[in-house]
Amino acid sequence: MAHTPKTGAQVVVQALIDQGVEVVFGYPGGAVLPIYDELFHRKDKIRHVLVRQEGGALHAAEGYARSSGKVGVALVTSGPGATNAVTGLADAMMDSIPLVCLTGQVPSFLIGTDAFQEADTTGITRACTKHGALARDPGRLAETIHEAFYLAKAGRPGPVVVDIPKDVQFAHAPYMGPKDYTPRRSYRPRTEPDPAAIEQAVAMMAEARRPVLYTGGGIINAGPGASAALCALAGKTGFPVTSTLMGLGAYPASGRAWLGMLGMHGTYEANKAMYGCDLMIAVGARFDDRVTGRVDAFSPGSRKIHIDIDPSSINKNVHVDLPIVADAGSALEALVAAWGGRAAPNLAPWWAEIEAWRAKDCLAYRPSDTIIKPQYALERLREALKGRDDVFITTEVGQHQMWAAQFLPFEQPNRWMTSGGLGTMGYGLPAAIGTQMAHPGALVIDVAGEASILMNIQEMSTAVQYRLPVKIFILNNQWMGMVRQWQELLHGERYSESYTESLPDFVKLAEAYGGVGLRAETPAELDGVITEMLKTDRVTIVDVCVDQKENCFPMIPSGKAHNEMILAADAAMFDKGLV
């Protein structure tokens, strides 16, 4: 039902309010000033967070969305504002994060004339969004906004762009609320599993003797009910559980069935179990190359069940025996119900094999009394956080990200925000800002590297302005650590452009922005510095000076199979070509 006409800008802001949006991350410019003017009048309803670069707005919206389960919203201007947002859109697309990005556009009559700050935003972002709309018709503007929110959440979540010409923002337009919007039939995803497929899956599960539940970020996206159903299924069947980087927290790290993360830097036991299983049940995971390694050698002896809401993911990378297109939560609940009161199969021999692999203690490292090992720094952070239920972790990208995944346990979903598919350096700080906005009273920590944090260090200013007490825990080895590790192990120690010279003094940098700066240079200083960090009520950078030569293991080298991991003890032999 159409209501009293409004200006296009009023339509946009009212639509956001009616969609339940509380926070918008953005940066103004000429092509979106009418919307910003309307936000000024409606600031009692929507809070705007001014980032320092549009890329930061998108990552902040990602952190907000990932930690809250809501749709993240960003607002940027035309031209460079929109193009600066592309990395965040691509990141959200790869990791299935629901976002709506509103972009300004030059007036309709100037489109195609190479006008000042004109860019073909919908064309540029077509490959890295679920949907893009150029909203040239004021009469359909409200519908377009509501459609964007529906599409961002429906099926496999992802980013949607709405590009709004400036004249449309001034034009008068009818308004319709979200209840008046009806999604097109083609937009409605299948969420309930085929009962026959569920029965077939249960029959395969009952026959398995070496099963594995391979879980991914789709379970997180499906909501807390999906995680609860996963725990129930693992409890009923006794099946071991492993997870992708994006799925951490869907099953608690303290759970008896937990094997740890799998993949390139996953645990020995998780990767060996995946390689040696006879039944793999993949839920909300997409068989990413960082998980599979060599596809032709990926779990060669197993039958595979794949549950995913995105039909295009089925058989895309790995052929499966039983596809189930459905919402992860609905499918897991159906499996739990169909399993019913069956007795768990005898998996004692399989668990004995897994325990033998676990005994390798693949995350072990050589401690030091004089140099802070990065693993030790995270162990001490983990110890300091014990008993707290209000902790959210974001990361940048690199060695520190993998160490955080290995050494920080996650007991709940939505507590781990990281860039998985795109691997975006600079993600963690703005994501922490978005997470803190979603959870004002929580403890939000960005585990960072000194190279990655500099990618979006300007967002320190955002944290200060909005009094967001995020903590930035830098594992500073003065290298682009993951690049250096690959160069050491795979490129004959030719360290081409991977050493970061002329680093800032991070303590002084934090203080220059108006935050708190702390540093730990020895193991003896570490606990005291972490304690001080946890006491601060302002954005805080902790510069932890760690071993410059430490590598992240286990590691599956590029082009190798799951059972061809390098452990720390193997590294020297690998370097000499003996492994």
Q: Which amino acid is it at 88?
A: G
Please, are residues 44 and 75 in contact by the beta-carbon 8 Å criterion? no
Distance of CA 481 to the CA centre of its chain: 21
Selecting among 109, 116, 199, 573, the annotated active-site residue is 116
* 243 secondary structure, DSSP code: E
Q: How many separate helices (H) and strands (E) can be counted in the chain? A: 24, 20
> Does residue 116 have an active-site annotation?
yes
Please, are residues 87 and 17 in contact by the beta-carbon 8 Å criterion? no
* Helix H or strand E segment including 139: none
Please, are residues 47 and 22 in contact by the beta-carbon 8 Å criterion? yes
Residue with tokens 């937009």: 187
CB neighbours of residue 284 within 10 Å: 33
Selecting among 54, 269, 379, 396, the annotated active-site residue is 54
Q: Classify 154 as helix, strand or coil.
A: coil
Angle at 193 between CA 96 and CA 89, to 5 degrees: 10
CB neighbours of residue 41 within 10 Å: 11
> Does residue 166 have an active-site annotation?
yes
| 320-349 residues labelled b (16+ CB within 10 A) or e (exposed) | bebbbbbbbbbbbbbbbebbeeeeebebee
Strand partners of residue 463: none
Q: Classify 19 as helix, strand or coil.
A: coil
Convert 96-130 into a string of H (helix), E (strand) and C (coil).
CCCEEEEEEECCHHHCCCCCCCCCCHHHHCHHHCC
430: nearest Cα among 144, 105, 96, 54 = 54
> Does residue 437 have an active-site annotation?
no
Selecting among 6, 130, 153, 166, the annotated active-site residue is 166
Q: Cα separation of 298 and 277, whole Å?
A: 11
Pairing of the two strands 416-417 and 391-395: parallel
Selecting among 482, 533, 555, 565, the annotated active-site residue is 482
CB neighbours of residue 186 within 10 Å: 6
Q: Classify 68 as helix, strand or coil.
A: helix
DSSP secondary structure, 429-484, as one string: HHHHHHHHHHSTTSEEEEEEEHHHHGGGGGGHHHHHHTT---EEEEEE-SB-HHHH
Tokens of 15: 């639509």
> What angle, rounded to 10 degrees, do the helices at 54-68 and 86-95 form?
20
Strand partners of residue 394: 417, 446
Q: Cα separation of 144 and 70, whole Å?
A: 19
> Does residue 54 have an active-site annotation?
yes
468: nearest Cα among 499, 438, 427, 492 = 438
Please, are residues 132 and 106 in contact by the beta-carbon 8 Å criterion? no
Strand order in the sheet with 540-545: 416-417, 391-395, 443-449, 471-476, 540-545, 516-520
Please, are residues 79 and 86 in contact by the beta-carbon 8 Å criterion? no
Selecting among 22, 117, 521, 525, the annotated active-site residue is 117
DSSP secondary structure, 369-384, as one string: SSSB-HHHHHHHHHHH
Q: Which residues are catalytic?
A: 54, 116-117, 166, 482
